[in-house]
Structure 1
């Protein structure tokens, strides 16, 4: 009996440490996405080709994950739910990343990450418009502060910086809004179907949509290079699909199993800081003082809003 009492806390401790490590590594992998995409762009890759190869490489790997966890998954959902999951997945695996990847072509990885972080504000707005959920004074203040931070992060009153970043920033903010739509629409669906099946269905349909999009684009004379890049570019495509897309999902899935979703959310909040460090170290990105202030205003306010949600979950 005494032996069991000693082993149980030790086993829990090992599980907790393992879960923490998995979450940290997954967060670092995900935070490197913008950096590796920027590297691919520097070698001549286009946003469209980058997204296509990411989808084509990642989709089969998500099917492998599905097979790995198949026995542990709930019963296969009805076809109606499968179709809904696939269509909803078009938002998060096709439209949102397409806007994000194109926008990233025009702004730094650091600014892109800050703009992407604004999605909780869009979730608040959409929840109010679609579900008439109550918006508190604090929420309104948060929206205003984040909007001001976004304005500063893309140049503020510096017309040269503002003009240079404006087009890309608009696309990335649209990407964040689309991602927020996905979160609002798919909330209950994820619980019914599970994140693994949601990813498989969504990524599969998104890959088909991307091929159709490129076919239509090419028919209008906008040809997309796919097979003429140097080998380094294809290696980077592989890294974007595996290291920044599939690996984070699998690592965080296993991490959350061990430490819980709330603690996992806390760890993942350091992702933007990692992107800032990576952008400065590996890309040599330099922002103006005003942009740095804007980035940290966005980072601070979103962290506060998300942290408040996490504290409420911990109390419950």
Structure 2
């Protein structure tokens, strides 16, 4: 009887974990759709990112405050604060800024596929900087992934060639900075904890974004249509705060491997949402290119 109850609870936990991982993947993917919808209004990338961070900051402040008051946690050292500063700027500030700028020029579907390349960049950077093995399997995965991006990219040229390379370059730079951030997080996260790390690093990014806005924009730049504020708030809640905590909970329930595999739903969700909400064309070339990217990335994730 006890075994049956334990099995039922385990199955329920796994089911909940898969559900949270799926919702997190869809939530993160929805960010590109919300950004593109906001760009229909007179708002630039820095202002939009500042609004997203401003609406997200209170939640991360509460989480950080709770951790700061917990004396049972490991006390942070000077090196930890430096790591949080550098990683917060790299992973949540620069990566997001490049992504938001790139979305001014390219489709949401192509943006999500380029972002999905980050595991391939982690492999390449790890090989170049840390001397980690890079073999035939990794080479085939990279070939498939970037061939898929090439297919989608050249298909996009037929739709909109102007500034396509510029936009893709910015998103690629955001993906590269995120990959570098991931390489640097391992030891820091293990030492101070994932939730505390995320809250502190996000607050660093919030501060950097708001400072950039204050130094580059006049106060009247915040006089925007109400729709921009509504989309920014939705983005902060459903594409930033909730997915972050749902992803963390999913990893605890079903493990990082299963969670990362479910995350591959992201590009597919973005393609269909972009077609429905933005009217972006969903061509056979895009579907085929997306399939190549997912096969390449998933082969690395499975490893």
Take 1:112 and 1:53, find their aligned partners in 2: how far apart are those partners? 21
Name the counterpart of 1:50: 48
1:86–1:198 contact (8 Å) kept in structure 2 = no
For the aligned residues, what is the CA RMSD? 2.4
Aligned pairs for 1:70-89 (under 5 A) are: 74-89=73-88
1:155–1:291 contact (8 Å) kept in structure 2 = no
2:143–2:296 contact (8 Å) kept in structure 1 = no
SS of residue paired to 1:8: helix
Deviation, 1:117, is 0.9
2:60–2:203 contact (8 Å) kept in structure 1 = no
Give the paired residue count. Answer: 302
Take 2:271 and 2:26, find their aligned partners in 1: how far apart are those partners? 12
Name the counterpart of 2:235: 240
TM-score, length-scaled by structure 2: 0.90
Q: Structure 1 stretches of 5 or more lacking a match?
A: 310-316
1:123–1:184 contact (8 Å) kept in structure 2 = yes
Q: Structure 2 stretches of 5 or more lacking a match?
A: none
1:154–1:162 contact (8 Å) kept in structure 2 = no
Name the counterpart of 1:41: 39
TM-score, length-scaled by structure 1: 0.87
Is 1:261 aligned with 2:259?
no
Take 1:51 and 1:128, find their aligned partners in 2: how far apart are those partners? 33
Residues 262-307 of structure 1: per-residue CA shift (max 9 Å, x gap): 222222221211111111111111155444433332222212222x
Deviation, 1:178, is 0.6
Aligned pairs for 1:298-309 (under 5 A) are: 298-306=293-301, 308-309=302-303
Take 2:159 and 2:2, find their aligned partners in 1: how far apart are those partners? 67
Aligned pairs for 1:1-316 (under 5 A) are: 3-66=1-64, 74-155=73-154, 158=157, 161-218=160-217, 226-306=221-301, 308-309=302-303
1:146–1:297 contact (8 Å) kept in structure 2 = yes
